[in-house]
Structures are given as C-alpha cells and as structure tokens.
Structure 1
Amino acid sequence: MTDVTVVVGAGAIGQAIARRVSSGRHVVLADLKRDNAEQAARVLELAGFTTTATTVDVSDRDSVRALIRTVTGLGDVKLLVQAAGVSPSQAPVATILKVDLYGTAMLLEEFGEVIASGGSAIVISSQSGHRLPALTPGQDRQLATAPAEELLDLPFVREIDDTLLAYQISKRCNSLRVRGQAPRWGRRGARVNAISPGIVITPLAWDELNGERAAFYRDMLARSPAGRAGTPDEIAALAALIAGPEGGYITGSDFLIDGGATANFFHGPDAQGT
C-alpha cells in the first residue's frame, strides 16, 4: 500500500511540512478553496511529488468524512497535518470557534479512526494559546477531552464575544487536544502532537501585519529575543523531527516555536503577562 500524507489547509506551512517529510508518499492537499489546493499540488508536482488536490470544510463532519474516504482509497494515512484555520482579522467569533476549535477537535476524532500504525498527526496551533489568561483545571480538561460536538456549548466558550479571545481559546484547545487524543491514537500505534508557531511569514501573517493589530504584531517581533519572524521551513524542520523516527517517543505534546516572543511577553523588561 502507498503511504499518504494529508495536508488540511494547503497554505505555506502545510506545504513546507509535506515537502520536508513526504518523499515517496502520495500527498493529498485539501483546502476549503479548490484553487488553493490545486495551486499547492502543482508546486509539489513540479518538485517530484505525487499529489491529489481536493476540497474540505473542517467545520463540517460530513465533509471531513468524505475527505477520509478519498485518502484511505489511496493508501495508508501516515501523516495528518492540520494547518487549516482563520485568524482574528479574518473572521467573526462564530467562524473562528467553528473552524479553529471545533474543526480541529473533530478532525482528530475522525482521523483517529483511520490513522495507520506508525502514523502521526501534527496540529498547527499558535503562540496565542500560550498567552490566554489562566483557565481552571476543569476548563482545560474540557478543552482536552470533551466530545467535539459539545465544545461550542461549553459555558465559557459560549460567552466569548471578542475575536482575539476566540482565537486564543481555540488555539489553547488545539494544544490541549493532542494531549487528550494521545491515548486513543496510541491504541492504533500512532502519535499526535501540536506545534505553536509565533509570527511566521505566510499570507495569513501578512494579513495580521497589515491589519488592525499591525502595530501590536510588529512591536512583538521587534521585542522578541530572535528579533524577527519565522519561516515555514523552520516550522517544517521541527515537524520533521516530531513526526519522524527520531520523534518516536513524542506524543501528546505541544511545541512553542516563536522566537522567544512569549518568553518576552511574560518575562521581558516590559512584561505584560501575569
């Protein structure tokens, strides 16, 4: 059987990870917009990869199940990269929660039924989840383990009325969700982890750097220990370690890779965190 890499959200980070780890595999690129998936597939095809482009709506379980039928028809799913999402500058609260919070949780539930032995998942979360004001242990546990269909009805989720907070809660859930799913994936001989990038230069990042919070994000970069934004290839290098054989003991973990921006937020000379 052919080994398959599935990239959900065919943007720069998903493409970089697929390119780094998918030699000899069939790469499925799935996106809400077919044009995005087809463009990404063409780029990888020109680099020598075998690809399939398709569509998926990560906020719709039937759409995700249709994607799973497609990819399992091609071979064994060895890697899922969940890179689909919307930012606080791109969508209202309800959409952010449905896509970033519910969508990721549901995707892990569904792919957890078909992931091949020896396979893994990488969820692209965000540094924003690490800046969220402290939740209670009970709230953290609910984000980690509540059935996906119940997440949007949690009282502390329902009361969110700010797009940044919706994004932070969603990304906090992403980081916790891999912990909650790790035992279940382990029973299939598979692993599941998250990466929480800081500002990485992608089209989504350009939206933020030129949007209503542009000054905040540009100041964050200037004050971070690294003094710059990251690149998709740096995220892919970390993903290759986590998902590859050298990362075989890693599961249920979230990796913050933000040039020290979060460290500066909490512990820098003008610390804002508590």
Structure 2
Amino acid sequence: MDTTGNALPVAIVIGGSGGMGQACARRLATDHLVVLANRDVGKSEAVARAFAEDGLHAVAIACDVTRPESVAEMVRRSAELGSVDVVALVAGLSPSMADGRRIMHVNLVGAATVVEVVLPVIAPGGVAVLVSSVAGHRVAAGSEVTALLDDPLAESFLDDLEVALGRELTAMEGYQFSKFGEIRMARRLVTRFAERGARIVSLSPGIIETPMGELEFRENPKKRALFQRSPLARVGTLDEICDAMEFLCSDRAAFITGTDLLVDGGLTSAVEFDLPDPSGKPIDATLVRNS
C-alpha cells in the first residue's frame, strides 16, 4: 500500500539483490511493490529489510530462472500481490563467471522462460525490460545460429547451437550470443505483448561501474581495450542505468516497444566506425574505479 492506502503495482526484478539489479529495484520501489526474485532468497530478504528501513516496499521470492517450475511459482506468488506492471530481467552471468553453456542457460534460456511465464499475467500498460548489453550489438551470427537463438526454449537448443558452431560454446560466445538473443527477443515478441496491451523492450548498458563490471575489467584485456575506445572517456554509473530503466517503465515511454535502448556512452558507434581513442592515453584501470 502507498501512503493513501492504495495498492501499489508490482514490479518483478529478476536478480534484484545485487549490483545493477538491486539499484534498479531500489529505483522502482519508489512507486512499486518490488518482488526481489533471486535464487539466493536469503540475500533477497536482507535487501528487502534494507529497503523497508528506507520506507520502500519489497518482498523476497525465491526464483531460479533455469527451473521453469521455480519461475512459475515466483510469478504466481507475485501476481497474488497485485497488478504486475513491470518485469525487469537484470540477472545474468558474465564471461568470467561460468562456461558458455551455463551462461547461455541463465542469460537467454532463463530470460525466455520468465517472459513466457509472465506474459499471461502482465497487466495492460505493463512492460518487460530485458537487460542486455553492448556486447549484444557486436555479434556477427550467421542465419543458422540466429535462427537457433530465436528459439531458446527448444529442448535441444544448446546442443544444436554447438553443432551449428562445430565446437563447444566459449564463455565469451555464450555471453555475446545470449545478449544478442535478448535484443532479438524484445523485437520478436512485440506483437504478443501488444495483444496484452503491454510492451517489451531491451536495455543495453555499456561499460558500467558495477562489481561484475570490475571483475570483467580485471579478467578481460579485451574489455580494457574496449573501454579506451569510449567517446565519453568514462564508464557509466548505476544511476544512469536506473534513469533509463525508470523511463522505460514509465508512461513517458508508452510508445516505445519492440526495440533496444543502448546506453553506452557512444562506444558502439566508435567501434562500428573505427573512431580513434579520444584520450590518446594508455589504458589505466583507475579510470574505471574513479569515474
């Protein structure tokens, strides 16, 4: 309930207990009852208590996106709390966190599972936001691979993908392909959401100051080199991603659906057009920590 006694709309945040997910959940909790859907329900409960201390409304519900029955139970319980107006899929694994198949299973198969389960209950005027990545814009997938990525709930999806590639899926490919698939998912499902009177979009952050981003920066030399190409010569902040999320979930974005919002400081454009490093300076890890 809000201060007037009216029921708050529900915002489900998948992965709302840490990093970017928690930041987005906190922002949405200013005018929603937020469901912190996370496999580690104990962590979600701690976050919910912290939110409550700040006058925000949140509940923790266990959810493992790799288990359809877990997703179905989470959505059922969420719908009992009120009108499901927002579903934000922020959870995901980066290349330094798992192998290619596990990354693909969590990032793309998990996202597709959530979307399919939530579609019948999302409220008219509601929105699903798939948090993708700048990496999804840097994929050159052939037609066979793309067709497979467009059907991630197929029973033999991961096996078929590796057959098409002719080898095992690497962690980097798992990440890039999964994020590419999420962007396409928002476009492919636009009509099905419109039939509910709802919207679906993807949001692609660039290099953002998060614990996951710092891990990737330490472990991945290619990411450090990529950072140096950024026209704005800095990383993005969590507040900037939350601003984009808040906008996409608001009535101000009521005519935005079936598309991707790229929030990357111009990095994708710099890579596409092979623009020079704007700083002319060597890579310095402290730039990421201090920006």
Give the TM-score taking structure 1 as reference length: 0.90
Letter of the 2:218 partner, please give it. N
Letter of the 1:256 partner, please give it. L
Q: What secondary structure is seen at the aligned counterpart in 1 of 2:11? A: strand
Unaligned runs of 5+ in 2: 1-6, 278-291
Deviation at 1:192, TM superposition (A): 0.7
**1:102·1:148 contact (CA, 8 Å) conserved in 2?**
yes
1:188 aligns with 2:196: yes
**2:229·2:276 contact (CA, 8 Å) conserved in 1?**
no
1:246 aligns with 2:252: yes
- CA RMSD of superposed structures (Å): 2.0
Distance 1:113 1:27, change over 3 A: same
1:148-167 to structure 2, matched below 5 A, reads: 148-150=153-155, 152-153=157-158, 155-158=160-163, 159=165, 160-167=168-175
**2:282 alignment counterpart:** none
1:262 to 264, 268, 284: 268
Letter of the 1:169 partner, please give it. F
Deviation at 1:21, TM superposition (A): 3.3
Larger RCO (CA within 8 A; separation ≥ 6) = 1
Q: Which is greater in Rg?
A: 2
**2:101·2:158 contact (CA, 8 Å) conserved in 1?**
no
Deviation at 1:181, TM superposition (A): 1.4
Letter of the 2:194 partner, please give it. G
Deviating beyond 4 angstroms after TM superposition, the runs of 4 or more aligned structure 1 residues are none
**2:108·2:152 contact (CA, 8 Å) conserved in 1?**
no
1:218 aligns with 2:224: yes
1:33 aligns with 2:40: yes
**1:127·1:196 contact (CA, 8 Å) conserved in 2?**
yes
Supply the distance in 2 between the matched residues of 1:45 and 1:75 (Cα, whole angstroms): 18
Distance 1:206 1:42, change over 3 A: farther
Unaligned runs of 5+ in 1: none
1:120 aligns with 2:127: yes
Letter of the 1:241 partner, please give it. F
Q: What secondary structure is seen at the aligned counterpart in 2 of 1:30? A: strand
Supply the distance in 1 between the matched residues of 2:29 and 2:195 (Cα, whole angstroms): 24
Distance 1:246 1:141, change over 3 A: farther
Supply the distance in 1 between the matched residues of 2:145 and 2:14 (Cα, whole angstroms): 27
Number of paired residues? 267
Q: After superposition, give the CA deviation of every residue in 1:90-147 in whole Å (9 maximum; x if it has no partner).
A: 00112111111111111111111110111111111011111112432x6545534x36
Indicate the percent of aligned positions where both proteins have the same amino acid: 34
Distance 1:222 1:232, change over 3 A: same
**2:4 alignment counterpart:** none
2:56 to 46, 49, 58: 49
**1:197·1:256 contact (CA, 8 Å) conserved in 2?**
yes
1:1-274 to structure 2, matched below 5 A, reads: 1-10=7-16, 11-136=18-143, 139-144=145-150, 146=151, 148-150=153-155, 152-153=157-158, 155-158=160-163, 159=165, 160-211=168-219, 213=220, 215-269=221-275
Using the TM superposition, name which of 51-60 and 27-36 deviates more. Answer: 27-36
Supply the distance in 1 between the matched residues of 2:19 and 2:66 (Cα, whole angstroms): 21
**1:226·1:260 contact (CA, 8 Å) conserved in 2?**
yes
Q: What secondary structure is seen at the aligned counterpart in 2 of 1:192? A: strand
